[in-house]
Amino acid sequence: MTNRAPGPGVTAAESTPSWEPRSTPPSGAPNVVVIVLDDTGFSHLGCFGSDIDTPNIDRLAAGGLRYTNFHTTALCSPTRACLLSGRNHHSVGMRWLSNLDTGFSNCRGVISKSAATLPEVLRANGYGTFAVGKWHLANLEDCSPAGPFDHWPLQRGFNRFHGFLGGATDQFSPELVVDNHAIDPPSEDDYHLSEDMVSQAISMISAQQSSSPGERFFSYVAFGATHSPHQAPSSYIDKYKGKYDEGWDVIRQKWYEKQLDLGIIPSDAELSPRNRGVEPWEELSKEQKALYAKMQEVFAAFLDHTDDQIGRLIQFLETQDLLDDTMIVFLSDNGASQEGGKHGTTNELAYFNLMPLEVNDMLRHLDEIGGPNHYNNYPWGWSQVGNTPLRFYKQNTYEGGIRDPLIIHWPNGIDDAGGIRDQYHHVIDLMPTILDIVGVEVPETFQGVDQQPVEGTSMSYTFPTNAV
């Protein structure tokens, strides 16, 4: 019998069926979950020094590794471009925010097609790829329901997306997109975006595992929290009532001392000087103290609530017997935000339009802060606390803007549970780390486009016990 190439013949006997081979990850490749918080400072997590309840994030730290010399850019879009491309933000066209294209290659406001993204590479190697939450990697003019969709999540490597395209959104009534379609804002009275995001992430993974048990997945969970507006269910806000009446100077000292005890900072590390524009707490008026303390209470509630949602995701992975074989990478995109201004704000657009609100005007709405009627952000004094012991904030290329918490949890691959690593690393190192662990490389060409070199370096050498 003559060997024939697969395909139809003149008769059935002469026809040979064929199927396109399906890509599969290398043997032993883990699932990957990347969790990104927004505007969460170096010290905001309990496991990095704060008194805010973050038991689920702390659990990841206790079972994995904390990186205390991890750096990002000072803004959200550039950091996310670095994270998802493994290249520096200028190299891939994201010098600033994705909002605009300046006409120059370093600031196109999108990730260049010459930099295949992490989900693109993983999907080409057999992973299911799912994204929920914040995108902020497409030009503002391209984010209408009419598109174009070239740089929306589904066109940059994700199979599914449920989230928002811009830099921030209301937590109670968000502007949402599902895949390539805008949807109406949720109408439920008790809706909160962070809860919805985790429910969607769980649903996407569940659907995949139901149809293809054991198939590998990459889940990108990019919370709107803790970017303004700081909004949380009232029960969480009530929990923190009165907790910050001591003021930002006392709280900052306490967090600093806890960082020393935890080994998050060296034993000889000094607390940085007070940032310019931050007044001593004892010199504030009674009205200022009441307003500013409430704004920090709301922020703490927002982060606490977010941690509970992360706990739901961890519990799901554990219940489905997926947790041990899932590498969870947790980070913040930049330092704590200065965008509330000196006094904080109940309308962040006022800050961006150089129209700071008066303390007495905001006090009239004190009991509403953190609810659906205000787009609030806290004052500089609390931002400084969130970046303890570092100087300055998001937007600034000081350590307070670019040194951020990183946790990697992977029971099957990390045996130094609770370990701390102080090597310098940058967010561009995360994609090479993930691909190194998975066992794949970035191709020289992708979808017909020659690829830039990956500029990050794998961090997998830090996983063994006592790694240096």
Residues facing 312 on adjacent strands: none
**pLDDT score, position 7:** 80
Tokens representing 24 are 């599969």
Q: Please tell me the distance from the alpha carbon of residue 237 to that of residue 244, in angstroms, as a whole number.
A: 12
Tokens representing 357 are 């609100």
**Where in the chain are the domains?**
31-462
| Pairing assessment for the beta strands 425-426 and 128-134 based on DSSP bridges | unpaired
Q: Residue 3: which pLDDT band, with cuts at 50, 70 and 90?
A: low
* pLDDT for residue 266 is more than 60: yes
* pLDDT for residue 335 is more than 90: yes
Q: Residue 8: which pLDDT band, with cuts at 50, 70 and 90?
A: confident
pLDDT tens digits for range 58-102? 999 999 999 999 999 999 999 999 999 999 999 999 999 999 999
* pLDDT for residue 253 is more than 70: yes
Q: Residue 468: which pLDDT band, with cuts at 50, 70 and 90?
A: low
| Pairing assessment for the beta strands 70-71 and 425-426 based on DSSP bridges | parallel
Buried b vs exposed e over 37-66: b needs ≥16 C-beta within 10 Å? Answer: bbbbbbbbbbbbbbebbbebbbbbbebbbb
Q: Please tell me the distance from the alpha carbon of residue 429 to that of residue 125, in angstroms, as a whole number.
A: 20
* pLDDT for residue 286 is more than 90: yes
Predicted structure pTM score: 0.97
User: What single string gives the DSSP state of each residue in 282-346?
Assistant: GGS-HHHHHHHHHHHHHHHHHHHHHHHHHHHHHHHHHHTT-STTEEEEEEESSS---TT-SS-BS
Mean pLDDT of 242-259: 99
Q: Residue 13: which pLDDT band, with cuts at 50, 70 and 90?
A: confident
* pLDDT for residue 387 is more than 80: yes
Mean pLDDT of 203-222: 98
Which segments of 12-165 are extended strands (E)?
Answer: 31-37, 65-67, 70-71, 128-134, 160-164
* pLDDT for residue 207 is more than 50: yes
pLDDT tens digits for range 431-451? 999 999 999 999 999 999 999
**pLDDT score, position 2:** 54
Q: Residue 19: which pLDDT band, with cuts at 50, 70 and 90?
A: confident
Match domain 31-462 to its CATH number in 3.40.50.2300, 1.10.540.10, 3.40.720.10, 2.40.30.10.
Answer: 3.40.720.10
* pLDDT for residue 341 is more than 50: yes
**pLDDT score, position 465:** 86
**pLDDT score, position 1:** 46
